[in-house]
Structure 1
Amino acid sequence: MKKVLKKVTALVLSAGIILSPAYNTMAMETGVVENTQNATLQDGIYTPTNFSFSGGSGKVTITCSQVEIKNGEAFATIKFSSTKYTNVKVSDTDYAPTSNTDGSIFVIPVNANGETAIVATTVAMSKTSDVEYTLTLAVDKSGRVETYTDGYYTKNVTIPMDLKNPKYSDGRVFSYPKNPYSFNVTTTIKDGKIVAVDYTDGVNVAASGSDRNYLIWAMDGHVVTNPGYYYIDPETPKTAEDVVETGIEEQVIAHNGVDGVDVVTGATITSKAIIEAVEDAVERAKTGDKDDPEPTIYAEPATPDVVPEDGVYTTFAEGDSLSIDYEPVVLKVEKGIMKADFVIQQRQSSYPYIYTGSEDDAIKAGETSWYYPEDFDYGYKNPGSLFKNVIITSLDKNLDFVNFASGSGNWFNRQIYFGSKYLRKVDDRVLKDGTYTPVDAEYITAPDFSEPEENTEDEVESKKDLVVTFGKVTAQNKVNTVELVLSSETDAKVAESIMVGDTVYTDQDDNALTATFNVPFTLNKWTRASYVENGKKVVDEGFNFVLDVHVHDYEKVVKKATLTKDGEIKYICSCGDVEKTEKIYAAKTVQLNKTSLVYTGRALKPSIVIKDSKKKTISKSNYTVTYKNNTNVGKAIVVVKGKNNYNFTKTLTFTINPSNTAISKITAEKKAFIVKWKAFNSKKASGYQIRYSTDKNMKKAKLATINKNTITSKKINAISKKKYYVQIRTYKTVNGKKYYSSWSKTKSVTTKK
């Protein structure tokens, strides 16, 4: 039978804390990889100690939320700020995105401590394009995140009641019950995070003191831990809202465990028991020893807080029983802490100070923790109070706060909803002087956080009363201005003047139905334009606008030239605009300056000459040359490969012939002559050839071949008495083929009778 738990509603702090247990629920095999400090990283999830990237145009950013070490390999979860990335290639392997909802998220193999080159494919441009990036990571063991198994972990705790009876200032003495009481503490872990601490099966123990009864119990998931301060009439039923909570639950959730959790004054013993139960749950979660079957929870754990990444944003809010939705909210996020600047349309006398939390919390915190308005005369008609740096815990939730009414002297409970629907991250880029085209332009008269189907026909029709058309954007001296044209479907001029900031801007056209204003703005920041009456702005009349601009981000796209086809370089913007195109002519001829060389005993490297189809010599920086078999006699190989703007491979050959010897002496004999020469070793020659002729031009010459390189003379016989012209050359046999040197200088001899 399943255990039934009543859910405790607990406040989840949103300081951007990452829970020590990660989301993984499966134990990993142990493996190690070396990091830059020669330490080891065990298999698991890590938060990078450093991450950066280079490449791209600079408009798209890349972040890395975690690195998983598995079997000695590192896999990073990276996120492109654009949703238009469809593929990432790492070492010739393609990886598809795991999500394209909020940016483009990929899980790819990386070097955990060093650089990783990737090629990312984007469809943001006019056609699919590949962009090169280099990711640089640093991971060490300090960033390792514990892995906990999601589930429910229950432990029964017992509270001894052998306590000293308290005595209070009014003289009353109360008797604590002497019998111990016990109850179950169930810790819920979801997505690796502690999301709830629940109590059930408590034993009610009653005791009497003075003329009152008081109880120590577990009721509806809550525990009374300080009975001496809590009185009830036994005949009057109590609800869960009447029961005092320990405050331990909120601390455990905020700290993701018990480290740093303090016991509650007046409830020390109970606090320690709950802490012990949570410690037990955490240890069991490491091994997956969860409750089976799982207990039934009546209520789902609190929804996670919505906290954007660090930066400055503008958005809007709406409030309970107050006007807060006219002026944009400035939201500053740093290390997961959100601080909001917003205006409440009430005078300072109505809102002298506010506090985020309950009235009791405000009184306990004291005046130094209250928020005071910095500007109480914020406009004409319905003036407002400006509050700055108010810490808020989450977007898209009704957040409790109280305000003090000086007139009545009372605190009033309120709620404010800060929505992410209109959230825009402020862009502080400084534009170069010039004109630009507005993009992502938007305007509203008031925020609308309702679902689309909730809008009535009257509400939809009312939004047509104002039409804002965005004209050109001008940047000059670091100031951006935009042309706004206001019109209305009611055939009446909307306004003669508007106020942006502290400056009034008047209509610049003569049209009876439209009004044109050139006003300053900051990129991607909501700006309030209020209507003006009697020279002052009217807070609750006007509109808000926001826009970005398109700045050409030309990227170099190269189509490389080959041996037969021309290439080109295009500079293409993400909007499809082409700034310029450069022709790359084909590498039409690739030649050696010499194709035959003489053996020297050293590596021979004839130079390369490459000319394009326009007969222009291509620079040596655009190709590489590799020589093979280029020292000894035989056929040498040259491999030429294009690089940079060229893509080709060309293989050439040249011949290395043996070096020549010379005739050292010729001796005439009777109808013969003897030729002598200097012998070569086997590296230089395999043998020799002699040719002789009665014609000094060696016409009809005869050959004599000597097949040993060690022989140094040869007798030529059976010839008539005549004058002969004689030459000699060496040859070398390589792989069955003979390579010959050039012929030596000619010498002559006249034979004897």
Structure 2
Amino acid sequence: MNVLKKIASAVAAVAVLAGISVPVGAADSTLKLLTEEVDSEFGSLPVDGLLCVLNENEFIDEFVSIPQSALKKWRSGGNLDMTDVEVGGKVNWDNLLGTNDNSLLLNVDSDGNIEKYYAIDYNGKDKIDIVRSSSEWMNYMNGWVVSNSSSGNLFSLKCENPETGKTYTEKIPFDGTYAWNFYMSGKYIAGTVYTTKTYPDPALDGKYNKYDIVVKGMKSNGKFETLYTDSVNFFDPTRGENFFQISTMTAPYGWVNHVFLEDSAEWVTIITDSKYYVEKVYGKNAVATLVDNYGETVGYQLIKLTEKGSELKGDLYKDMYTLDGKLYCVKTFDDKLGFINTNGKLLATFDDVSEFDGKYAPVVKNGKAYLVDKAMKCVSEKISATYVNTLGEGLYYVENGSKKYLMTYASDSATTTTPATTKPSTNGKDISRLEFYKLANEEYTGGKICPDPSIYDGNYLLEEKTDYTLSYKNNTALGTGTVIVKGCGKYSGTKTLKFNIVLKKPAFSAKKNGNSKAALSWKKVTGAAGYEIYYAAGNGSFKKLASVSSSTFSKSVSRLDIKNNSYKFRIRAFATASNGKKVYSSWSKTVKIG
């Protein structure tokens, strides 16, 4: 893949990938942003470096790996190398989802109901193995497959370790009213909650039932231990990423959450005036959901877990999520996005935000994406964007309209800068002396292309028609276009900017057809005169395979030895620019088979 190179600001030149702009002459105190255009949306999985490529319906199409070593190479000026991750074993790719658990994949139907479970092992580099699949409930944690086992009226908890061959099955002595199994982390590998007795509550004149309930946990040696017992009028068990909770109501008392923290194997009791369910636990902090009497979500709030119980912190929000458990992304009820700290204090709001993973988080403000530190200070250059998502430490997914990118930063040694919030005082300031974001490459469409440059006076972003006007030349054909910026209002003078109109990178796929053939296909690129196809065998260098016309969108390759060798394929479009020279698109993604 082509990659944005780190260039010293002293030479006043910045290399730019198609679609995202980076400032010329930016101060040395800001991080340089690097971007790589991609064909599809990327999502993260809770495994370092393992990413999923999503289709238009946001289901998984494929897996790729970008480990920290590859990210470090990209950030130091090399190319971004993504490794295709092979899935070993049979899997249905229709409506495939990942989970918060790094050891499980799911197939769902059109209504979101789970149809199949896949227990997986990832080797940390280039392969996912399907350990087990089932249409019945199953989970896979720390090498243990946890499932239900039933025969007639008997209900059991079953734990299997495929690597060691150990299997433990525990019959659940419930009274026929309720039994539910779940997987666990930490000291226990699985758990169950069940009723031992259901009867009319005499304290309520027999109008309501009372339930004697038991919670048990199974250790890795097969030992089954009682964790909790109670007699209640209502109970609702749920499990989160590293905790189990059972919410109860018992007359004359109100709503109580009993939360079992799996890492420390301790219980915390949460008593509130309203019905809260714990969603996530991060040390002594928890994200909780407030529900109404009909079970509908009202909002989310931060709860601090203490030795005496719990304490609600800050305000109620429309949404709340975090990765590090220290700074939380929130959505206010007037749809502003921002961050709160562990005391519930709202620190700042933006147009879009994503989580902190490490020192920085991506945000969007006024159509520009940039990184902020934990003091909410801008620490990077700004690029045009409408959406951001954290994929891992130092790796982000960015959208700018229909264009999609992966993003990182070239160095994390720079000091931070604080954006100005007020417009600087000017008196006919020459606009040509201000800081301009270099215009990105624009994809050829056949119509007029009118990019809007970002112009900064300090940290103030100038506004079109208020501070400047735009006109264009040569902005239709492949080649070099021109933007003329003319100051107005409190700005004077003109500035001429150049931008490239380029062919779009082809969307490309390759699949094996038996052990000797490969089927290649790609989507039409507007303005292309044809396509060049390259291949490489094993670890060899790429060689030209064929050049095809603009009306050809597939090719079959034969006489391959896929059984004993691997092959890589890639493609690029070509055309003739307005100056008569032959021009090429960026290379498509490289697809490996065999």
- Whether these two folds match at TM > 0.5 is no
**Coarse TM-score class (shorter-chain normalised):** under 0.3
TM superposition score normalised by structure 2:
0.24
- Higher relative CO (Cα under 8 Å, sequence separation at least 6) belongs to 2
Of Structure 1 and Structure 2, the greater helix share is in 1
Counting strand residues as a fraction of each chain, which structure ranks higher? 2
Whose radius of gyration is greater, 1 or 2? Answer: 1
